[in-house]
Amino acid sequence: MGGFLQAAIARAPQTFWGVMGGIGALLLLASLIGWLLHLRRPGPVIDNLNARIRAWWVMAGVLAACFLLGKVATLVLFGLLSFLALREFISLTPTRRGDHFALCLCFYIAIPLQYWLIGIDWYGLFVMCIPVYGFLLLPAVSALSGDTEDFLARSAKVQWGLMLAVYCLSHAPALLLLRIPGYEGQNLMLLLYLLLVVQLSDVLQYVFGKLFGRHLLAPLVSPSKTVEGLIGGGLSAAGVGAALWWITPFTPLQSGLLSLLIVLCGFLGGLALSAVKRSLGAKDWGEMIEGHGGMLDRLDSVVFAAPVFFHVVRYGFQ
């Protein structure tokens, strides 16, 4: 095991260590600030902030390990994330006995199949399997049960959950499929770039909203989202994305514009899934991650940003 880990470390590009060093430094700074705030002004807000920082350490460690171990480990990680996110979505959206076989197909066939298609580089089937065959098959399977009560709403819930938690999320590791001239063998860095910009945007929008937020964007949908948070946090995250151009195949200007696109899509994803939660009378999708809620609370921005980013890069740079 030690020799395998040494080999993985040796394969990691120098840019990977530079980025991970920067992430580690930011987390250390955040931990120090959180500790000082806890000493000076203890309270539930500071406790929540420190819980979020601790969760970020764990998430950064898991991602770093998968990046070191390579493509298979990364696909297994995202397959597990899809499973957990889909479970949270289905847990909050009531289903009936007649949907159970369709749900089994989602969890035990669709998830492994989708990530297997990425693993064997079969782009054509990866991009159409769920939105075409899954879309048609799942309601037909549910119809065989003979349960017609709220059939349309139930089918839409299952399809929505599969599209969000599996199809959309799988576009993040699908960046490994791209063949960008002059960027061969570095696609994991492109995935890291996407995740960094998305998550930094969420964090910075939260910080700017707490510090400067005055005008609510959609108070009935997400009371924490403000105009100041979106503009300040979004532009800051886009600036960081532009500064990270050196780990991508983009120029600084292209990187900045793509970061803005990621920020906008991520914001819309968070807003849309907040509306779903509110309609179901829930504050969070779950309680899996301390300080963050459920897995889908942490991935709501990614599921909207990943497919858009993937296809823009594929058609613009491959």
Mean pLDDT of 115-140: 94
Mean pLDDT of 224-245: 87
CB-count exposure of residue 161 (10 Å: 0-12, 13-18, 19+): buried
Domain ranges of the chain: 1-69, 171-318
Q: What is the pLDDT of residue 96?
A: 83
Mean pLDDT of 161-176: 94
- Residues in a beta bridge with 226: 216
- The mean pLDDT value of the chain amounts to 84
Give dist(CA 101, CA 251) in Å, integer.
48
Q: What is the pLDDT of residue 289?
A: 57
Lowest mean pLDDT: which of 46-60, 144-158, 230-244? Answer: 46-60
Q: What is the pLDDT of residue 45?
A: 65
Is the pTM higher than 0.85? The answer reads: yes
Q: Are 244 and 15 in contact (CB under 8 A)?
A: no
Q: What is the pLDDT of residue 102?
A: 93
- Whose tokens are 């960081």? That residue is 240
Mean pLDDT of 27-37: 80
